[in-house]
């Protein structure tokens, strides 16, 4: 009986593939958290690993790095990995595994990675504000208003806008854990789903240009307007100037091509001068 059932499953799977051969679907329950490519240096066993929380950004960066002349000369493989998990940040950045990482400055300071692993801040995004979002009214930053509310926060203690700032606000207002209902989500997009579906009364997040399609700016209240933007850190165990320049130019190209208001505002730290770049390196 089991053989017949497995055969039927296989037949239906093949038929489904034939009907949808031009489409690619993610397999349910299989988490894809990295992608990689081989460079032209086939015999080189060195891998250039990038870590970030944004999958779309990581995939675009992979495409750029895989065609970069300097990367192709110095490495045999390029790999990008994305994750929101603080445990993964500790694993890849805290232990110095990642060559290039987009993380919050407070985490880098906590792990002392700049001193222990030689990470250098090569670029960063602009500071931003944190807001309380509501669907039907403007939130108030008072104990009376927030009492009994269902509030959506990020389940990542390192997130400034989704965890640290709102938790600090609640503490300063004298609101204890039992005074509000905290509902945790694993991403900012998941927070927005909680709010739009009515499962929470409020969420804490940043304002994105696409938020105006679902939410009203009349119904957000600023909590903090000086949140440090994420920063790109490159592991510089040696004075690898060619690599630093190549990474900065690649990040600058991504910033110019992106549609995101946040990612387009990139600031290069100690930017490479023309004479720092390799003679044959294409200026991006």
CATH number of 32-125+229-276: 3.40.190.10
pLDDT tens digits, one per residue of 209-266: 789 999 999 999 999 988 888 899 999 888 899 999 999 999 999 999 988 778 888 9
What's residue 21's pLDDT? 34
Domains 32-125+229-276 and 128-227 share a fold: yes
Helix locations, 24-112, DSSP H: 55-66, 69-74, 86-89, 105-111
**Of 5 and 258, which is predicted with more confidence?**
258
Give Cβ neighbours of residue 253 (< 8 Å, ≥ 6 apart). Answer: 64, 284
pLDDT, mean of residues 56-80? 95
Tell me how many degrees the CA angle 237-33-269 measures, rounded to the nearest 5: 35
Q: Say yes or no: domain 128-227 is CATH 3.40.50.10890.
A: no
Give the H/E segment covering residue 47.
strand 47-52
Candidate ranges 2-6, 176-180, 277-281; pick with highest mean pLDDT: 176-180
Question: Cα dist. 18→9, 13, 24, 38, 212 in Å?
Answer: 14, 9, 12, 30, 40
Give Cβ neighbours of residue 5 (< 8 Å, ≥ 6 apart). Answer: none
What's residue 1's pLDDT? 47
Distance CA 130, CA 264 (A): 19
Question: Count of residues for the chain?
Answer: 284
Question: Cα dist. 225→151, 165, 236 in Å?
Answer: 20, 10, 32
Strands 77-82 and 150-154: unpaired
What's residue 109's pLDDT? 78
Is pLDDT of 30 > 70? no
pLDDT, mean of residues 12-37? 48
**Of 280 and 206, which is predicted with more confidence?**
206
What's residue 91's pLDDT? 87
Q: What is the mean pLDDT of the chain?
A: 83
pLDDT class of 106 with cuts at 50, 70, 90? confident
**Domain spans of the chain?**
32-125+229-276, 128-227
Give the H/E segment covering residue 152.
strand 150-154
Is pLDDT of 10 > 50? no
Alpha carbon dihedral 5, 9, 11, 13, in 10-degree steps, equals 180
């Amino acid at each position: 009986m089991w053989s017949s059932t497995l055969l039927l499953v296989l037949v239906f799977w093949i038929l489904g593939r034939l009907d949808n051969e031009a489409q690619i679907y993610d397999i349910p329950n299989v988490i894809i958290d990295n992608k990689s490519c081989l460079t032209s240096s086939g015999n080189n066993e060195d891998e250039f690993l990038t870590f970030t929380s944004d999958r779309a950004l990581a995939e675009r960066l992979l495409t750029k790095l895989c065609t970069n002349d300097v990367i192709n000369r110095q490495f045999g493989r390029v790999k990008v990995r994305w994750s929101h998990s603080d445990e993964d940040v500790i694993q890849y950045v805290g232990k110095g595994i990642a060559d290039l990482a987009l993380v919050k400055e407070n985490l880098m300071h906590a792990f002392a990675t700049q001193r222990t692993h030689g990470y250098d801040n090569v670029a960063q995004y602009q500071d931003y504000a944190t807001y309380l979002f509501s669907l039907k009214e403007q939130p108030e930053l008072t104990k009376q208003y927030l009492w009994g509310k269902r509030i959506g926060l990020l389940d990542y203690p390192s997130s400034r806008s989704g965890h640290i700032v709102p938790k600090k606000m609640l503490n300063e207002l004298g609101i204890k854990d039992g005074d509000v209902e905290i509902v945790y989500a694993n991403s900012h997009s998941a927070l927005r789903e909680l709010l739009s579906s009515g499962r929470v009364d409020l969420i804490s997040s940043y304002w994105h240009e696409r938020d105006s399609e679902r939410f009203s700016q009349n119904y957000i209240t600023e909590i903090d307007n000086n949140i440090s933007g994420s920063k790109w850190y490159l592991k510089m165990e040696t004075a690898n100037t060619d690599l630093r320049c190549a990474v900065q130019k690649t990040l600058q190209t991504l910033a110019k091509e992106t549609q995101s208001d946040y990612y387009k505002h990139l600031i290069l730290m100690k930017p490479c001068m023309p004479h720092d770049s390799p003679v044959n390196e294409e200026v991006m």
